[in-house]
A and B are shown apart, each in its own frame.
Chain A
Amino acid sequence: MIRWDWIFDNLDQIAASVAEHLILTILAVWIGLAISLVAGLLIYDRRRLYGPTAGFFGILYTIPSLALFAFLVPITGLSLTSALIGLVSYTLLILLRNIMAGLDAVTPETREAAEAMGLSRAQRLVRVELPLALPVIVAGIRVATVTTIGLVMVTALIGQGGLGQLMLRGFNRSFPTMIYVGFVLTVALAIGLDLLLAWIGRVATPWARKGPG
């Protein structure tokens, strides 16, 4: 059933799809991270804002992807912009929650010591609290990335590329091989990125692994 010859003949097309998929995913997660970080740092000292912000991000998250893209299409058309807006929206809740949880995990005594030693608010956030929040934030980035990979597939419906496009064309032409290839590569991409991020997270936080010597 699987047409291996087709696969070998079209490796470049397949590779291009993977590349498109990857780029879209990374772009969406980066933008989402930037927005969530800014939001998180702004909200962190003003807890009353957290409820509404998280609520808003939460609604964006609950709306089924197809619906969200459908909302966007009449406004921003079948473009990369629509896709990115939708993709970024889905990452916001996860990332924001993890950023807040990560920052919250910093112990009170560490905070007190940092303040007492004469670090300004900005210095405390950047030099102490964010680095310590990193493990939790990285966990959030992993979930957001894997979720986004899945969602990039849906963007194929609004004309974007990636492996979703591959699967969709296979579907339209009743050519199962493309569907299978797209599926397997999507899963492989998801697992691969997840492991890569996990490794990066471990390397960036050497202190988290140490116990009493």
Chain B
Amino acid sequence: MPVGRRYGVSTMDGTRRAATVDFEHVTKHYDAGAITTGAPGAVTDLTLSVPAGAICVLVGPSGCGKTTSLKMVNRLIEPTSGRILLDGTDVAARDAVELRRGIGYVIQQVGLFPHQRIWENVATVPRLLGASLGRQRERADELLSLVGLDPAVHGSRFPAELSGGERQRVGVARALAADPPIMLMDEPFGAVDPIVRDRLQNELLRIQERLAKTILFVTHDIDEAIKMGDLVAVVDVGGRLAQFGPPAEILAGPASDFVARFVGADRGLKRLSLARVRDLTPLPVPMARLGEPARRAAADPLVRDQRFALLVDHEDRPIGWIADRELDRDGGITADMATPMSPLLDPETTLKDALSMLIDAEVLAGIVVDRDGRATGLITTEAIATWLRPSGVSTATSIEAAS
């Protein structure tokens, strides 16, 4: 499960290796006669700023110019007007070839050189920059390990011998080889199956944790955009910026009908995948300990209020639920008095997964447990629904009301 990200921070002093990107009124149009299906889309007056170390996702329907915008950063396409600044310098002012050696580029079909071994492919830009053979090999091995490939196994192979997912990992390694301050990624995970895609996305997020590069990421998949982006730019057909902001903002408040439609009618559910159990305030758990005298537990004000108690062991680990009337007897509490349990929720679980678990178990509340399995609170479906509502008004806080 991807850990929450904060951009611009890195354990490897990454901020100095990340550039800022500014689009200033960038426009690209093509002659009417040159328009053919599948041709790159036009871009109209695109202006946005990407801070260093952030992943900015450009998302929109096919032909909306997101790929064109990306390719204008490394000048594979030149803008008709407007300019793009990298760390404040206009990219047009620099020599194109030299510029590209400082920008990592990853595309859907990867584009590895079939006639070179994997390590040679990865070392392409270092070689161009004059690194010695030894240093090239070293760097290649380093990066292959970073992307999760064993250099001893894959280093000397040819691209044709690798699977699609492995090839794309090599593509990412190659893009990172010269430690560029910015990476451009054009639907990099579009050509692999969903399982591999999920894994690759998580890997990239993990790598980003370490390296904190500025990444411009293009996709047509809004779910990918929400998952990957620190900032999301929703682009309309014709290359118009429809909305720009963190994913939560876009989901909570689409700026236009287009954005609302593009995000999808289920944006509420999508928002749930952005928050985690730890983002909610859990309700206190009415607890009863194993072996404790039943009446004492029944006397607990919380138990009396909620009419249920969670039976826990001496380490506060949940065993099951007991109704308060069951506690009205002599003697200690035993395990067989408890009925089956609600799902246990890790604080890192997304609200979407949590809700899913609760629905599957056909209960209205789940138990939050910490790393040692200790019960720390309750989360109800009601609480989750409340979180969704922008005004945050809650109407019920008791288990009873929820049951």
Contacts and interface: CB of A to CB of B under 8 A. Distances in A.
Contacts of B128: 117-119, 123
Interface stretch (A15-23, A65-73, A137-145, A203-211): A203-211
Interface string A90-130: 00000000000000000101111111111110010000100
Nearest to A106: B114
Size band of the A side of the interface? 20 to 34
A132 B112 contact: no
A212 interface: yes
B162 A112 contact: no
Contacts of B158: 206-207, 210
A113 B128 CA distance: 14
Contact of A117 (B100, B115, B162): B100
Main secondary structure of the interface of A (DSSP, over half): helix
Contact of A210 (B113, B124, B160): B160
A116 B111 CA distance: 10
B107 to A, nearest CB: 6
B101 A207 contact: no
Contacts of B150: none
B163 A110 contact: no
A52 interface: no
Contacts of A51: none
Interface string B162-186: 1100000000001000000000100
B381 to A, nearest CB: 47
A109 B105 contact: no
Interface string B117-130: 00000001100100
Interface in A122-177: 123, 128, 131-132, 134
A212 B159 CA distance: 8
Interface of B: 74, 76, 97-103, 105, 107-116, 124-125, 128, 157-163, 174, 184
Interface of A: 107, 109-120, 123, 128, 131-132, 134, 205-207, 210-213
Given A110-B114, A132-B113, 11 more contacts: A107-B111, A109-B107, A117-B174, A118-B100, A118-B125, A128-B113, A207-B159, A210-B158, A210-B160, A211-B160, A213-B161
